């Protein structure tokens, strides 16, 4: 689906890199920002985003919509998000297939759900309502997870494929999350990718993770690993030209190193494109 609207290759906008971006317009096609960091009354983050928005497309990426929670949708949050989107006109507005808390508590984590028919109906209905408030198509990301529920009645990829069909949302495929979850739960990452409808994918995430031997944790604190690059190549062959970005949230390297990593993503995408043409 991304062919007409693909943004190219972007990075997560983090304050540590403002000085590398403002006034220097580095070779980055777009930036993704964490929505909640800009849901504030005012101050430097918003003024920085205004300056960067003059030169680059942006995407808003949230962590607190809690779209899978049984707690009623936070309409104040959604309205604030809509105002932010109206102000900055992002190309994409995304959040995660997860819940962050119930009973008035926010655990500030991306928590997994059992993949049941009940959950599917619940989440699809909430996405539709959120899209009504936001006046935009929502993009939903697969999370990294460390638990899988015996209550599940279907695979995560089946759930996602059905969710996009029922709710009309698009999908953000986090390639690293697919890899991390496949390792932690013992499923085949390629099977996941191959089950996702081609026209549902609006964005890719790439990131690093921590290897704890028996399990892996999504940490965004290291470069993208070879296995994830390999999955990314497969994803580009299957889904084509989709907006792609690299997330980095800790152990921040020089900005030039992230740009070099982005160039590697570009090269893999170009190879995938050539392979597609050759076939």
Partner 1 sequence: MNLAEFQAAFQQAILADDDRLAPTFDETAEFCRKARIGVYIAAYRLRLAAVVAGDYPMLREALGEDAFEALTISYVEATQSSHANVRWYARDLPDFMAVQPRFRDQIAEQSLARFERALSDAFDAADAPVGSAEDLAEFGPETALRLQLEFHPSIRVLELTAGTTRAYESLCDGRSIESCGGDRELVLFWRQDGECFYRLIDDEEQFALKLAQDGYRFGELCQLLAFRVAGEDVSRRAAIFLSQWLADGLVSAIALDE
- In whole angstroms, the minimum distance from the beta carbon of 157 to partner 1 comes to 17
Contact by Cβ (8 Å): 216, 182? no
Q: How far is the CB of 215 from partner 1 (least distance, A)?
A: 5
First CA to last CA across the chain, in angstroms?
20
Residue 247: C-alpha distances to residues 16, 88, 161, 256, 269 (Å): 13, 20, 24, 14, 17
CB nearer to partner 1: give 26 or 114. Answer: 114
Which CB sits closer to partner 1, 6 or 93? 93
3-state secondary structure of 136: coil
Task: Give exposure, 224-245, as e/b (b: 16+ Cβ within 10 Å).
Answer: bbeebbebbbebbbbbbbbbbb
Angle between helices 75-88 and 117-134 (to 10 degrees): 50
Q: Cβ of residue 82: shortest distance to partner 1, in angstroms?
A: 14
**Residue placing its CB nearer to partner 1 in the complex, 133 or 233:** 133
Using alpha carbons only, how large is the chain's radius of gyration in Å? 18
User: 38 or 232: whose CB is closer to partner 1?
Assistant: 38
Q: In angstroms, give the least distance from the CB of 148 to partner 1.
A: 5
Beta-carbon-side half-sphere exposure of residue 133 (alpha carbons within 13 Å):
18
d(CA 95, CA 98): 9
In the complex, the smallest distance separating the C-beta of residue 107 from partner 1, rounded to whole angstroms, is 6
Query: Applying CB under 8 A, which residues contact partner 1?
Result: 36-37, 39-44, 46-48, 64, 69-70, 74, 77, 99, 101-109, 111, 113-114, 116, 118-119, 122, 146-151, 184-186, 214-215, 217
CB of 163 to partner 1, least distance (A): 14
> CB-wise, 219 or 230, nearer to partner 1?
219
> Which CB, 24 or 103, lies closer to partner 1?
103
The burial class, CB within 10 Å (0-12 / 13-18 / 19+), for 72 is exposed
């Amino acid at each position: 689906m991304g062919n007409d609207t693909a943004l190219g290759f972007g990075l997560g906008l983090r304050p540590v890199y403002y000085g590398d971006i403002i006034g220097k317009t580095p070779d980055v096609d777009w930036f993704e920002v964490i929505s909640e960091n800009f849901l504030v009354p005012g101050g430097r983050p918003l003024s920085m985003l205004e300056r960067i928005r003059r030169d680059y497309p942006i995407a808003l990426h949230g962590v607190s919509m809690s779209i899978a929670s049984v707690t009623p949708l936070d309409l104040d949050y959604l309205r604030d998000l809509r105002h932010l989107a109206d102000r900055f006109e992002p190309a994409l507005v995304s959040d995660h297939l997860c819940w962050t808390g119930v009973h008035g508590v926010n655990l500030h984590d991306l928590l997994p759900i059992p993949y049941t028919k009940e959950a599917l109906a619940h989440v699809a209905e909430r996405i539709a309502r959120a899209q009504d408030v936001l006046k935009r198509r929502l993009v939903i990301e697969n999370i990294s997870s460390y638990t899988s529920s015996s209550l599940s009645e279907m695979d995560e990829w089946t759930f996602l494929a059905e969710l996009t069909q029922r709710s009309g949302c698009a999908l953000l495929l986090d390639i690293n999350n697919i890899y991390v979850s496949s390792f932690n739960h013992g499923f085949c990452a390629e099977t996941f990718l191959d089950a996702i409808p081609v026209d549902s994918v609006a964005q890719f995430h790439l990131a690093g993770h921590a290897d704890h031997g028996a399990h892996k944790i999504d940490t965004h604190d290291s470069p993208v690993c070879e296995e994830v690059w390999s999955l990314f190549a497969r994803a580009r062959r299957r889904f084509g030209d989709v907006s792609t970005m690299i997330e980095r949230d800790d152990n921040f390297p020089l900005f030039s190193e992230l740009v070099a990593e982005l160039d590697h993503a570009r090269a893999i995408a170009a190879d995938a494109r050539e392979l597609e043409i050759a076939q």
